[in-house]
Amino acid sequence: MLRGQDLNLRPSGYEPDELPDCSTPPRHSTKQCPIIAKMERREMKMLAAKAALDFVGEGARLGVGSGSTAHCFIELLPQMRARVEAVVASSEETARRLEAAGFRCTAEAGGLDLYVDGADEADGNRQLIKGGGGAHAREKVVACSAQKFVCIVDESKRVARLGEKHPVPVEVLPMARGHAARKLAAMGATPDWREGFVTDNGNWILDARLLDLTDAAATEREINLIAGVLENGIFARRRADVLLTATANGVTEES
């Protein structure tokens, strides 16, 4: 099913004279201008965000995710202000953006009607990897509190199997970093400490590469049993109810 066919969207923050001249790429070059590629990705994210607005019902208690695609949704959300009764943010950055858009956030995540968020990876079963921005613990709380989880991505985030492009972020207590890293390594992963990064909860992140995600829900559960782990970025036990994928031809909906 196609949604949001209107491709006449322009990313904010760019003026024509600010862009490099990419109209004549170097001879024999097959590479796309990186600025144009970035603009096209943002246009697709805006398409997916626009399609997600259709799921905001009257009197909605709404959860809003984190990351660049969720930020696009926040940009468009004032159009639906009259329908929104309450908003819960999944990160401090999201809260700042929502408040700047004129929404007052509530801290209680219970009883939400809808959660809208992006993903780092999404497979054909609507299972996700999230947490590139380190907000996956709060994101999972909000997702699990919502009756419906609508995930919005552009086509670059689609994968045949989870783990193809991104590691699994694991939020750990600082004192548990070494212990959790050894347990992840015993599971076959290569854990990398995201040095210098501190989550909104005051914790650290281990990015677990090369995990076997054949049974993503089982792996999600096993990681969370490690002492000192707060949450990991696999969203298989709470996968998306609706997956909106933006492409150059429009937005597809899977549910």
User: Per residue in 137-183, pLDDT tens?
Assistant: 999 999 999 999 999 999 999 999 999 999 999 999 999 999 999 99
Q: Which of these, 230, 242, 234, 190, lies nearest to 216 by C-alpha position?
A: 234
Active site residues: 139
Burial 70-100 (b: 16+ CB within 10 A, else e): bbbbbeebeebeeebebbbbbbebbbebbee
pLDDT at 15 over 80: no
Is residue 128 a contact partner of residue 239, using CB atoms and an 8 Å limit? yes
Per-residue pLDDT, 11: 34
Task: Average the pLDDT over each of 12-16, 77-81, 142-146, 149-153 and give the range with the smallest value.
Answer: 12-16
Residue 49 has pLDDT above 80, yes or no: yes
pLDDT, tens digit (0-9, with 9 covering 90-100), for 82-114: 999 999 999 999 999 999 999 999 888 788 999
Domain 168-228: homologous superfamily in CATH? ACT domain (3.30.70.260)
Quick one: pLDDT band at residue 249, thresholds 50, 70, 90? Answer: confident
Helix (H, G, I), strand (E, B), or coil: what is residue 75? helix
Whole-prediction pTM value? Answer: 0.82
Task: Give the 3-state secondary structure of residue 232.
Answer: strand
Interatomic CA distance for residues 64 and 88, integer angstroms: 6
The token pair at 216 is: 């993503």
For 251, the token pair is 């937005």
pLDDT of 4? 41
Measured CA to CA, the distance from residue 60 to residue 143 in angstroms comes to 15
Domain ranges of the chain: 41-160+237-250, 168-228
pLDDT band at 30 (very low <50, low <70, confident <90, very high): very low
User: What Cα–Cα distance (Å) separates residue 38 from each residue in 34, 49, 103, 207, 244?
Assistant: 6, 16, 28, 25, 20
DSSP string of 77-123, one letter each residue: GGGGGGGEEEEEESSHHHHHHHHHTT--B-S--TTEEEEEE--SEE-
In the chain, the percentage of residues whose pLDDT exceeds 70 is 85
- If DSSP codes are grouped into helix, strand and coil, which group holds residue 149? strand
Tokens of 179: 């212990």
Q: Give the neighbor-by-neighbor strand order of the sheet with 168-172.
A: 190-193, 204-209, 168-172, 229-232
Same fold, 41-160+237-250 and 168-228: no
Where does 41-160+237-250 sit in CATH, by number? 3.40.50.1360
Q: Which residues contact 133 (CB under 8 A, 6 or more apart)?
A: 66, 67, 91, 93
Contact 142, 88 (CB under 8 A): yes
Report the run of H or E that residue 171 belongs to, with start and end. Answer: strand 168-172
Residue 13 has pLDDT above 60, yes or no: no
